Structure 1
Amino acid sequence: MFLIMRILRLLTGPIRPTRMIGPGLTFAGLLFLIGAAVTGQIDFTKFDRLAEMAAGLDGPGLPGAAIAPVRLDPNATRSSERIRIATFNIQRFGEKKSGDAEVMQNLARIISQFDLVAIQEVQSPQAMPVARLVDLLNRSGGRYDAAVSEPIGRTTYLEQYAMVWDVTRIAMLPDSAYVVRDDSDRMHRPPMVASFETRIPSAMGRRPFRFTIISAHTDPNQVSPSGKSNEMDVLDDVFLRVREYEYQMRGLVNTLMVGDLNVSTANLGELGQIPGMYSVVGTTPTNTLGTKTYDHILLDQTVTTEYTGVFGVVDYERDFGLSPAQASAISDHRPVWAEFFAHEMPPVATANRAAGSQAAAIR
C-alpha cells in the first residue's frame, strides 16, 4: 500500500485562490504531486529531497521507522449514512514529536476515529511527520491519504497545513488543493483549501456530499477585536471568495472554515457576522486544559444542511484513557469534530440547527 502526499506551493497575490498544478512521480512507494512554480517550471530540486524522505521512512535507526502498528478501534461501527470531519492543531508536529512512538500511536488512534481531519501546526519542510502518521495508520490496517501545504509564514518560524482522510469513505477532488493567495500580507499564515466528496454508496440514489474545507491557523497576536489588524476580519473575505470560486469552478456550495482561530465564538469578528455562519462548538472549551475555546468548525447553516447537529471535542483522558502527561504530550489543543450526512440534502432558505445541536463524546 502506498501513501499519496501532495505538496502545495504557496504563490503570491490579493486574497484569492491560487491553483496547484504538477506532475506525479513515485519514490519508494510514495506518490508526490509537486506544485509548479508561477512560471510553470517544475522545481526539480524537490525530487531529490522527496526521494530521500521516501527512502528514509523505512530506514533503520531513523525516528519513526520502528514505531509498531497500533490496534485501531474499528471506529465503533462507522455509519454508512454519516461522516465525521475534524480539525486538530497538533502542537509543534515536527521531527521530535513524530519520532515519539507513544505519541504517534495515540495520534493514530485518535485520527482513525474520523473520516477527514484538517491538521494545523505541522513543522517539517518535507512533511515527514504527516508521512509517518499516515504510514502508521496504514500499517495498522487503515487506508489513509494526505495533502500537505508547503511551509507558510512571515518569519523563519514556518508551519504547514495538512489534511488526512480515509480513502474508503472520502475522496479529494482532482486539482482542488491550494493555499489562498495573499499579496497584501493580511495574514501571517494564509489558509489551505481542498475539496472532497464522500465515497459511500447511497441506497436511495442520492448524490455524495461534496464540500470544501478551508483550514486556518491565525496569529494569536493579530486577532484582538481592538487591534489595528484583526485576521478574523480577513477570514470573512476568504470564506466568501473561496465559496464563490469553488461554486464557479466545481459547482460546490458547501464550505467549512475550520482550524485554530485563537478566538472564542463571541470574538469571531466579521467572519462570525456572515449571514448563517455558525460555530458548531459554541462555547465548549477546546484547549487541553479545558479552559478556552480556540478551535472551530464554521459553516453556513442555511446552505450546509448536511450538518446533523452532532459535534464533539475529544477529551484525551475520558475518551482514550490517557494520563494528563500523555495528553499534554500530544497537544495543547483537543480535536473538534462535527457529523454530516454522507449524501446531499436539499438546501433550505432558513435553518436553525443550533437549537438541535448536541455534543457527543467519541464512543
Structure 2
Amino acid sequence: MRLNVDMRSAYPPRKGSTVQRLFSTAMMVAILGGGGWMFYKGLHLEDIKQILVTGSTAVSQLHHNGDTAGGGSPQPTPTSINLGQQNQSTIRIASFNIQVFGEKKASDTEAMTVIGNVFRNFDIVAVQEIRNKDELFVPKFVQNLNQFTGRTFDYKLGPRLGNTTSKEQYAFIFDTAKIMVSSKYVFTIQDPKNLLHREPYVGLFTVRGVPDQDRFTFMLVNVHTDPDVAKEEMDALAQVFEVLRRQGLGEDDIIMLGDFNTAVPMDPNSTSRVISQDDLAALGRIPDIYPVIQNQPTNVARNRLHDNILFHRPSTTEFTGQGGVFDFEKQFNLTPEQAKRVSDHFPVWAEFSIYEAGISNQMAIGATNTTR
C-alpha cells in the first residue's frame, strides 16, 4: 500500500479554539485532591492558584516567548517505509522505543548510526526505555546527533521511573528550528495509587515560522506500559487522556504516543488482524479516538503491533492522513541481527500541518473572500 494515503475524507474537520478555557476549580480539586488518583507532579496549592490565573494564556505565552530551553541547551495506515520529501508546511512526530538505550548501545557505532539516521527523518521524537544513570548520557547523545545530522535538536528528559530496580526515562527530542517547547509545561503525571509502572511524561509544544494565531500547538503524552498489565494500564491512561483533553491548559490537540504493548497479532504466517477497540482497553472506548497504526507490525520480529500514536480525530484536524511504521531494517538494508542491535521496536510516526486546524487564518480569509 502506498505511503500517501489521505484519511481526511472519513473525518469531517471540526476544531475548537486552541485556548478553550481556564482550569475549573472543581476539576482541579478532583484531580489533585483525594477524590482522584492522578495529579500533576510538584503542583501544590499555590501552584494550582497560579494555574487558575495563567492557564488560559499558556499557549499565548509559548507563542510569544519562544521558550526552547531543553534539558541541556478507522482506515488502514500506510505501509511504505520511504518517507520521501517532506512538505515545508508539515511536521513529523515520531515515537521510538530504543530498547535498553544506554552506554552499551551507545558504544555500538553501527547501531548509533542507524539511530541517527532515524532521527533525521523527524522533527520531534518521543523516546522510551532510556536506561542510564549518567545524567550526561542524553545531553551527549543530542550533541552527537546534531553533529551527525547538521540539525539543531534539543531535549526534555523525564525522571527515572519504574517499580523495579531497572529504571527507565522518557525523553522528547525535537528540532528547535521547527519546534518550540514550554519549559513551564513539561511534567510527569504522578499516580499515588501506583496504577502505572512508568507514569506518562507530558510536554506542550508549538511550531515555529507561523503567525501566532495560526500555529499548530499540541500536547504530547509519552507512554510505556508494562506488558504484564498493559490493559489495566491503558484503562488508567484513558483517564490521563480525558483529563488532559478537557482540562489541559485549554489545549485540545492531545497526542498520546509510545509503547502501549498492545498484543495485536501481525504474523503473516498465522493470525493477523486490524487493531480493535478492545486491544486499547478503555483508551479504545474514548469516542473518536484514532490509532494511526492499525494493521502493521511495530516490533522487529514483525509479529506484534505494540506501538502507536493516538489522538481525538475530530479535534486534531491537523493530521494530514500520512503516517506509519519506519522500518529501518528495510530502509537501511540491515540484516535481522543488525536490526535487533538497534532496537526490538520500529519507530512509528505521523504527519501534521503546521497550521492550527490545518489551515492558516490568512488562507481561510482568502478562501472566504472568494466565495462572496
Same fold by TM-score greater than 0.5 = yes
Aligned to 1:190: 199
1:326: Cα distance to partner?
1.6
Counterpart-to-counterpart distance in 2, 1:207 and 1:127: 37
Aligned to 1:325: 337
Counterpart-to-counterpart distance in 2, 1:119 and 1:158: 14
1:12: Cα distance to partner?
12
CA offsets 1:314-346 (integer angstroms, 9 cap, x no match): 112221222222211000000000010111117
Counterpart-to-counterpart distance in 2, 1:84 and 1:163: 13
Aligned to 2:261: 262
Counterpart-to-counterpart distance in 2, 1:127 and 1:149: 11
- 8 Å CA contact 1:98, 1:129 repeated in 2: no
Counterpart mapping for 1:193-212 below 5 A: 193-201=202-210, 207-212=214-219
- 8 Å CA contact 1:232, 1:268 repeated in 2: yes
Counterpart-to-counterpart distance in 1, 2:93 and 2:70: 24
1:241 corresponds to which of 234, 240, 243:
243
Query: 1:127–1:120: structure 2 CA closer, same or farther, 3 Å change rule?
Result: farther
1:164 corresponds to which of 170, 173, 178:
173
Counterpart-to-counterpart distance in 1, 2:344 and 2:210: 37
Counterpart mapping for 1:9-48 below 5 A: 14-19=37-42
CA offsets 1:22-70 (integer angstroms, 9 cap, x no match): xxxxxxxxx876xxxxxxxxxxxxxxxx9xxx9xxxxxxxxxxxxxxxx
Higher RCO, 1 vs 2 (CA within 8 Å, ≥6 residues apart): 2
CA offsets 1:273-325 (integer angstroms, 9 cap, x no match): 10110101012110012110000100100100001111120112221222222
- 8 Å CA contact 1:20, 1:177 repeated in 2: no
- 8 Å CA contact 2:128, 2:258 repeated in 1: yes
Counterpart-to-counterpart distance in 2, 1:234 and 1:186: 7
Aligned to 1:122: 130
- 8 Å CA contact 2:96, 2:258 repeated in 1: yes
Counterpart mapping for 1:64-103 below 5 A: 77-103=85-111
Question: AA paired with 2:120?
Answer: S
SS across alignment from 2:172: strand
CA offsets 1:74-104 (integer angstroms, 9 cap, x no match): x864321111000000000011111222211
1:201: Cα distance to partner?
3.2
- 8 Å CA contact 1:286, 1:313 repeated in 2: yes
- 8 Å CA contact 1:243, 1:252 repeated in 2: yes
Counterpart-to-counterpart distance in 1, 2:33 and 2:173: 25
TM-score using structure 1 length: 0.72
SS across alignment from 2:261: coil
Counterpart-to-counterpart distance in 2, 1:15 and 1:84: 30
Query: 1:128–1:283: structure 2 CA closer, same or farther, 3 Å change rule?
Result: farther
Query: 1:221–1:95: structure 2 CA closer, same or farther, 3 Å change rule?
Result: same
1:216: Cα distance to partner?
0.5
SS across alignment from 1:108: helix
SS across alignment from 1:187: coil
TM-score using structure 2 length: 0.70
Aligned to 2:161: 152
Cα root mean square deviation, aligned: 2.5
Counterpart-to-counterpart distance in 1, 2:247 and 2:342: 36
Counterpart-to-counterpart distance in 2, 1:283 and 1:20: 40
- 8 Å CA contact 1:180, 1:191 repeated in 2: yes
Aligned to 1:221: 228
- 8 Å CA contact 1:18, 1:180 repeated in 2: yes
SS across alignment from 1:239: helix
Counterpart-to-counterpart distance in 1, 2:33 and 2:243: 16
Counterpart-to-counterpart distance in 2, 1:207 and 1:126: 40
Q: How many residues align?
A: 279
Structure 2 residue 310 is matched with structure 1 residue 293: no
SS across alignment from 2:214: coil
2:296 corresponds to which of 280, 284, 287:
284
Q: Which moved more, 1:134-143 or 1:145-154?
A: 134-143
Runs of 4+ in structure 1 deviating by more than 4 angstroms, as ranges, are none
SS across alignment from 1:80: coil
